Chain A
Amino acid sequence: MKYLVSIGLETHVQLKTRTKMFCGCLLSTDCPPNTNVCPVCMGLPGALPLMNKEAIRKTVMSGLMLGCSINKYSRFDRKNYFYPDMVKNYQISQNTDPLCIGGGVDIGKGENIRRVRINHIHLEEDAAKINHYDRHSGIDYNRCGTPLMEIVSEPDMHSSSDAMEYLTALRQILVYAGVSDCNLEDGNMRSDVNVSVRPETSDRLGTKVEIKNMNTFKGICAALEFEIDRQTAILKSGGSVVQETRRWDGECGETFSMRTKENAHDYRYFPEPDLLPVMLDDGTIEQWRSELPELPGKKRERFKTQYSLPEYDAGVLCAQLPVAAFFEQTVQRGAAPKSVSNWIMTDLLRLLGQTGRDISDIPLTPDSFASLLKLVDSKSINTPTAKELFEELFEKGGEPEAIVKERGLGQVSDTGAIEEFAARVVAENPKVAADYVGGKAPALQYLVGQVMKLSRGKANPQMAAEIIKRKIAGE
């Protein structure tokens, strides 16, 4: 019998705001513990929360990017639970009237594009960070009360690779929108995973199992694969899957039952009495819509048509917004799109990878990059020189034309000079010249190499090859 897998994700995304959700405390990841806290986020009696407008705006913008409809009326609820990561014994969240409803993320390519539907997006406050030690636990409330957006998908994914595609696309969109850094190591993006398996013949979803709080894509993928195998094996042997929450242990590569108490999920939600509702009018929503950047998929299509780039190039360039911007800025300065693309995909991305540097933080500018390419196109410098110069501009910056002039790096396209070198090389290497005549093509490469050597790397190699051929032919 065949089995069908259904996966849904609840993805928590830390918003890139300056301050917390309901108080003016600084958002930081590298401050000493318990230094960015106040009476509101420490839950001291009498302190009142006040909504951060920017967090509302970023959540609505995420909704607009993901094709959600924005609720004109939304509000906050209290979610009650006891755990030391939440000082007030409740988390302010949105249960019945979230900011965004519906929408979706497209996965797959070409004819196989499928939509993973989004159920809703709501806004809440994050909990504190708990560190576990041998004999005690230590709490840092710096993260407590920071804005956290939760994106809840429908169970529309059917394999671990679907889930990876969904998360990758979601992350790209949110980073594009400037909503979050989505830095996985810093825990900016954490997912709860729901997975169920059912016989293909059944049209009702199987019993779902939840795996909580996963922050790496790799972990999610491995946990899903383990859980799909585990549940399929249970069904095949005639058993039934227990509805429960399981924990992923990355070291063992297995999920384990968490055996939570039955009552643990009775959150007794009720409307947060300390906050007023959020009412958004069309003008505000349209204003925020006008501030949205171009979606990655739209940008890829535009790059293909506007710059006549192959699908592959468009995909690589648009994967990161700063890289796409660097490409466009260089093209705007008159460089040929396809050569800009080639240089970015090979040399620039390689150097960025090797040095671990950020594209926004390198001495190479679209200006110097474009003038370097102009020198190549006009055959003023040859390719090996250009490659060396590119690395230098990447490291130290500078003005390519000035450097070429100053150091005499200009390519020798002067026929007279190359004629002279070629004549000498052919005369000094009669055996190699004879080999070429005898049909050994590589012999020509050797002779060209000799001419390049004599010109100290500056001769135009194509021109040198032509002239050598003529010399050998005795012209």
Chain B
Amino acid sequence: MDNENGTVHMDVERICELAHFDMTSEEMSEYQDQLDRILEYVEMLRQLDLDGIEPTMYGQPVANNFREDIVVPGLTHDEVIRNAPDQANGEIKVPKVVE
């Protein structure tokens, strides 16, 4: 995320909002500083000549790790519900959400 004067800057407040993180303003400025430094570090890549180099998305040159369409038993209903905060009629109960 670049700002006008060409230096890198991360909008920590917005990232927190998107990621549902609650932070105090002290924490925010602390992270602001650290994250900007990480971005600056990555910024070094821009000084390299990367013409003709494909972006690497995966560590190994492997593809097509498929499974066949075969049923494998999963968790029992009790096991699923055990981790849920609350349940009603087999469904996991949550505060009312809008459609």
Interface residues of A, Cβ cutoff 8 Å to B: 17-19, 23-26, 32-39, 41-42, 50-56, 75, 80, 82-84, 130-133, 135-141, 247, 263, 266, 268, 271, 275-279
Contact = CB atoms under 8 A, between A and B. Distances in A.
Nearest to B72: A24
5 contacts: A24-B71, A24-B73, A51-B65, A54-B69, A139-B94
Contacts of B44: none
Interface residues of B, number: 35
Given A51-B65, A132-B99, A276-B65, A34 B92 contact: yes
The 7 closest A-B pairs by CB, nearest first: A38-B74, A24-B72, A138-B91, A54-B69, A53-B66, A33-B90, A279-B63
B75 A263 contact: no
Given A34-B81, A263-B14, A19 B70 contact: yes
Interface string B11-26: 0001001101000000
Interface of B: 14, 17-18, 20, 57-58, 60, 62-75, 77, 80-81, 88-97, 99
**By DSSP majority rule, is chain A's interface helix, strand, loop, or mixed?**
loop
Contact of B71 (A18, A35, A56, A268): A18
Contacts of B18: 80, 263, 266, 268
B64 A50 contact: no
B20 A51 contact: no
B96 A263 contact: no
A278 B20 contact: no
A141 B80 contact: yes
Contacts of A37: 74-75, 80
**By DSSP majority rule, is chain B's interface helix, strand, loop, or mixed?**
loop
B66 A52 contact: yes
A25 B96 contact: no
A139 B14 CA distance: 29
Contacts of A141: 80, 92
Contact of A136 (B60, B73, B93): B93
Contacts of B57: 75, 271, 277
Contacts of B93: 136-138
A271 B57 CA distance: 7
Contacts of B68: 53-54
A25 B75 CA distance: 9
Contacts of A54: 68-69
B72 A25 contact: yes
B67 A136 contact: no
B92 A52 contact: no
Query: Max chain B CB contacts within 10 Å: which of A53, A56, A138, A140?
Result: A138
Given A51-B65, A138-B88, A271-B57, A83 B71 contact: no
Contacts of A39: 74-75
A37 B92 CA distance: 13
B71 A19 contact: yes
A137 B86 CA distance: 11
Contact of B67 (A33, A51, A84, A271): A51
A263 B66 CA distance: 35
